[in-house]
Amino acid sequence: MEANVLALTCFAPPPLPTFSVALARLPIIPHPSPFNPKHSHFSVLRRCMNKDEQLIDGLPKEYYDDEWQARQREKTKELHQRRQQEEEEEERKIEEYREIGTRLKGYPEEDVRKARRLVSSLIRAAEEVEEEIEKAAEKGELNELVLMVIWNRLDLARRDEEKDAIRSLDLLYRRVETEILKREATPAMRLLNDLLNMHDGFDDEGWMKECKKRMVDTFPREDPFSILVPAGFDIDKHQGPLRPPLEADDTLLRVDFVREVNALLQEVRYQQTEAQHAQDSFDPESVASRLKQQEKQRAIRQVESLLDLAINLKW
Q: What is the pLDDT of residues 114-169, one digit of tens each?
A: 999 999 999 998 888 999 999 998 888 999 999 999 999 998 888 888 889 899 99
In this structure, the answer to whether residues 178 and 193 fall within a common structural domain is no
Task: Considering only residues 63 and 150, tell me which one the structure prediction assigns the higher pLDDT.
Answer: 150
Most confident of 36-40, 44-48, 201-205, 279-283: 201-205
Three-class DSSP category at 311: helix
Average confidence (pLDDT) over 200-212: 89
> What's the pTM value of the predicted model, to 2 decimals?
0.54
Res. 48: pLDDT tops 70: no
In this structure, the answer to whether residues 172 and 202 fall within a common structural domain is no
At 234, give phi and psi (nearest 5°).
-85, 115
Average confidence (pLDDT) over 73-83: 91
Any domain includes 146: yes
Measure the CA–CA gap between 229 and 238, rounded to whole angstroms.
10
Any domain includes 101: no
Any domain includes 75: no
The reported pLDDT for the residue numbered 54 is: 56
In this structure, the answer to whether residues 180 and 193 fall within a common structural domain is no
In this structure, the answer to whether residues 113 and 173 fall within a common structural domain is yes
CB 82 within 8 A of CB 89: no
Measure the CA–CA gap between 131 and 125, rounded to whole angstroms.
9
Any domain includes 281: yes
In this structure, the answer to whether residues 285 and 193 fall within a common structural domain is yes
Biggest CA-to-CA distance, the chain: 179
Any domain includes 113: yes
In this structure, the answer to whether residues 303 and 203 fall within a common structural domain is yes
CB 242 within 8 A of CB 298: no
CA-based nearest residue to 148, from 204, 107, 183, 181? 107
The reported pLDDT for the residue numbered 133 is: 92
Give the rounded distance of the alpha carbon of 297 from its chain centre.
Answer: 25
CB 229 within 8 A of CB 243: no
Range of the domain at 139: 109-184
Residue type, 13: P
In this structure, the answer to whether residues 163 and 264 fall within a common structural domain is no
Number of domains observed in the structure of the chain: 3
